[in-house]
Chains A and B, each alone.
Chain A
Amino acid sequence: MTLFLHTYQFFTQHPGTIWRHTLQQLYLVAIPLAAAILVAVPLTMLATRVRQLYGPVMGFANAMQTIPSLALLALMIAIGLGIGVLPAVLALFLYALMPIVRNTYVGIMGVDPGVKDAARGMGVTSWQLLWMVELPLALHVIIAGIRSALVATIGFATLASLIGAGGLGSLIMEGMGLASNSIVLAGTIPAIVLAFLAEGLMGRVERVLTPRGLRA
């Protein structure tokens, strides 16, 4: 009971601190994720055209996600990027690639061959095939990939404080250092809330972007 009280007190006494860390956390998620989308989606789209590209692209993305997250962060220091926001953002970016690459590929390749054949036969250019047929039909699958990348990134981002990138993770670390559970919770609760909000929001986006004709 006292833990709840202390936590509540911490929230009311240091709203600025919590807000600042939450904002940092948001940046730590949004920037790498946006970069991952901007890189992974077009690259994978290219890979659906130039098949030889898919192996290396997916292999790389897969490797990045297979490396334990902590090791990936440490690796950033090891390759000379030092500590701070930049190496953390880079690590998070690499980590977010895989689900987006996978879903973009699966989404586009999964478009009914009959639909593609009909579209080609009606005279779409290869760009039109992508824009008017494949992307709209694959979009909800791609969004689902972004959704899992987002949730993973939010989780991973709390670790980024380990290499000095700030965020809610630093509140948690601080709390652990001071053996203060209330500070730990001050970092943990917003992190959890963020994760759920993001998950819920992306679920909505996914539904909205599913073409009406494909909804069950």
Chain B
Amino acid sequence: MTDGDTASSVATADAILEFRGVTKSFGGRAPAVRHFTLSVPRGQLVVLIGPSGCGKTTTLRMVNRLIEPTAGSIWLEGRDYKSYNPVDLRRRLGYVIQRIGLLPHLTIGDNIAFVLRLLGQPPQARRARASELLELVGLDPAEYLDRYPTELSGGQQQRIGVLRALAHDPDIILMDEPFGALDPLMREQLQEEFKRLLRTVSKTIVFVTHDMDEALSMADVIVLMKDGAIVQVAPPEEMLRHPADEFVASFMGRHRVLRQASEVLVADIMIASPVMTTTASGLARSLELMRRRRVNSLLVHDPAGHYVGVVRQSELQDHIEAGDQSPVGSLVDQTVETLAPSDSGLTAMHQLLSHEHVDSVPVLDADDRIVGLVTRGTLVGLLGDALRVAAGVQDIQLPEADSAPVGEVAR
């Protein structure tokens, strides 16, 4: 693990990759990357993260000279990047991108071994290497070598994209949101698989993402960027515990250390986009909405957007079976307690736990408009974060109930 002050450190002996005051400006605009100085030790996985437009991808693309720095220099394995021919340099590095970019006219085998072909290796050797790599991730070479990318699912395609970056055994691999286009389940699966893969092959990795979950799960060191500059460099644990400033703290969001439950506001923990409907909506339509979003109650607002109450699945079902044609507005339970975003988390907890039949509480603003929902799941998530931090390891895989977009998800 590197220290928090890596950003300011000078050449370290074991640094395989070093950025020295790298700046990139495009035309007359503000620089996309400003005085970026970072030293990446051999074998580490460094995650560049930040809001979009923070310069993380530009930084990555300067390493393999797809973008040339305006000022400063990048040192790879003790040599100035300019001393490498760009094409040779790229063949020494691995490169994985979000858009995957497999060559659709080549077989999986040829795709995996593409760099080997550029390097002039004979076909048999290329095929053997491709087989070997497929086996490494548990894909049967006999089945996959001669298939084409379009015959594979997105997740499988990106597996091939990762293998392709490993084929020529590069020391450094650049990954630009490699799992960003995959659905959450597949993303997690590939992250795990990739971590497992990294245990068998020791690589230095520069990994760009905008997903803090991913950063926390993958990184040895997180580099948080904003407006082209580094805000903080720290291992995940340290960044969680000691965010350098308000920006880092807010970017870590719900992951950050919660010092006292009373400090937490409803606004911090609520689900910001609960499933809603209007009073005029039909019963069957509302039921269908619940089924689709997998919730068992809906927040109901009037046509002007003001909160009216809650309607529950069981009631809807009864009335539909009885042939009731009235709109949802007639079934609304208006007795449910509500919260304001500025209420403390403790108030929310009290409301949820003191009434047995209440499993969610709507959050309303001063105008009675629905701004969120706090559920029991939210509280469990909160507790989970606190435990995770308390345990001091971010690897505990706790169910993150509050990451679901809606309350009361049937799991």
Contact = CB atoms under 8 A, between A and B. Distances in A.
B105 A137 contact: yes
Contacts of A123: 87-91, 115, 118
A112 B103 CA distance: 9
A160 to B, nearest CB: 39
Contacts of A113: 99
B105 A114 contact: no
B105 A211 contact: yes
Interface string A172-216: 000000000000000000000000000000000000000111100
B114 A120 contact: no
Given A122-B114, A122-B118, A115 B91 contact: no
Contacts of A112: 99, 101, 104
A26 interface: no
A121 B148 CA distance: 21
A127 to B, nearest CB: 11
B66 interface: yes
A82 interface: no
Which of B88, B99, B101 has the most chain A CB within a 10 Å cutoff? B101
A23 to B, nearest CB: 37
A120 B66 CA distance: 8
A60 to B, nearest CB: 31
A118 interface: yes
Interface string B114-128: 110010000000000
B104 A119 contact: no
Contacts of A117: 66, 97, 99, 101
Nearest to A136: B105
A113 B88 CA distance: 22
A113 B101 CA distance: 8
A214 B91 CA distance: 27
A133 interface: yes
Interface in A76-125: 112-125
Contact of B97 (A118, A136, A213, A214): A118
A213 B64 contact: no
Contact of B95 (A115, A121, A137, A214): A121
A213 B95 contact: no
B90 A114 contact: no
Contacts of A125: 87
A115 B101 contact: yes
Contacts of B262: none
A66 interface: no
A114 B99 contact: yes
Identify whether the interface residues of B are mostly helix, strand, loop, or mixed. Answer: mixed
B45 interface: no
B386 interface: no
Interface in B124-169: 148-151, 161, 164
A118 B118 contact: no
B398 interface: no
Given A212-B148, A213-B148, A124 B102 contact: no
A120 B101 CA distance: 11
A115 B150 CA distance: 13
A114 B180 CA distance: 14
B100 interface: yes
A137 B95 CA distance: 21
Given A123-B91, A125-B87, A213 B106 contact: yes
Contacts of A132: 103
A9 interface: no
A17 interface: no
Given A118-B95, A125-B87, A136-B105, A213 B100 contact: no
A117 to B, nearest CB: 6
Interface string B75-109: 00000000000011111000101111111111100
B66 A121 contact: yes
Contacts of B102: 115, 118
Nearest to B119: A123
Nearest to A133: B103
Contact of B64 (A121, A124, A212): A121
Contacts of B151: 213
A214 B105 contact: yes
B104 A120 contact: no
Contacts of A119: 101, 103, 114
Contact of B115 (A115, A122, A136): A122
A115 B103 contact: yes
B115 A211 contact: no
A213 B149 contact: yes
A35 B118 CA distance: 33
Nearest to B90: A123
Given A112-B99, A114-B99, A213 B90 contact: no
B95 A211 contact: no
Interface in A113-168: 113-125, 128, 132-133, 136-137
Nearest to A125: B87
A188 to B, nearest CB: 41
Which of B90, B95, B103 has the most chain A CB within a 10 Å cutoff? B103
Top 10 nearest A-B pairs by Cβ distance? A118-B101, A114-B99, A211-B105, A213-B148, A123-B90, A121-B95, A123-B91, A114-B101, A213-B104, A115-B101
Given A133-B103, A212-B105, 7 more contacts: A115-B103, A117-B99, A122-B95, A213-B148, A213-B149, A213-B150, A213-B151
12 contacts: A112-B104, A115-B101, A116-B101, A117-B99, A118-B97, A120-B66, A122-B95, A122-B115, A122-B118, A123-B115, A136-B105, A213-B104
Interface of B: 64, 66, 87-91, 95, 97-107, 114-115, 118, 148-151, 161, 164, 174
